[in-house]
Amino acid sequence: IGIINFINVMITGVYSRRRELAVMESVGMTKKQVSKMLTFEGVYYAIITTILTMTAGNGILYYLSQNINTIADYAQFQYPTVLVISIVVALFAICTVVPRIVYKTVSTQSVTERLREAE
């Protein structure tokens, strides 16, 4: 659900900023530079999410692991290291690829056509 929400936010964000991105291109920014800028925004989202997960999420997980013995004496907690690493890698991959794909689909027209369309 979170991945779908992120993709939806990126589509909405790039689509609503079409005019702004077209203006940037009209004053000299290349499509590659705009794509790079959007990719960095995605990386920033991934970094913020990773930091929140590793601090607050791990704190909650630690609290639950300490109290799991009171619920079930037979339960044993093991930190899901491989799962967490794979989720962080997938998060960074999605956050870097999705903005580029969205921008490529939005910027198929020329700059002038996009500026006229946004008016």
How far is it, in rounded angstroms, from Cα 109 to Cα 119? 15
Cβ atoms of 49 and 94 within 8 Å: the answer is: no
Alpha helices by DSSP H, listed for 27-107, are 31-52, 58-71, 81-106
Work out the average pLDDT over 2-9.
84
**Phi then psi dihedrals of residue 77, to 5 deg:** -95, 135
| Span 53-112, pLDDT tens digits | 899 988 898 888 888 777 777 777 788 899 999 999 999 999 899 889 988 888 888 888
| Model-wide pTM > 0.95 | no
Q: Name the region of 28 (left: φ>0; alpha: ψ -120 to 50; beta: rest).
A: left
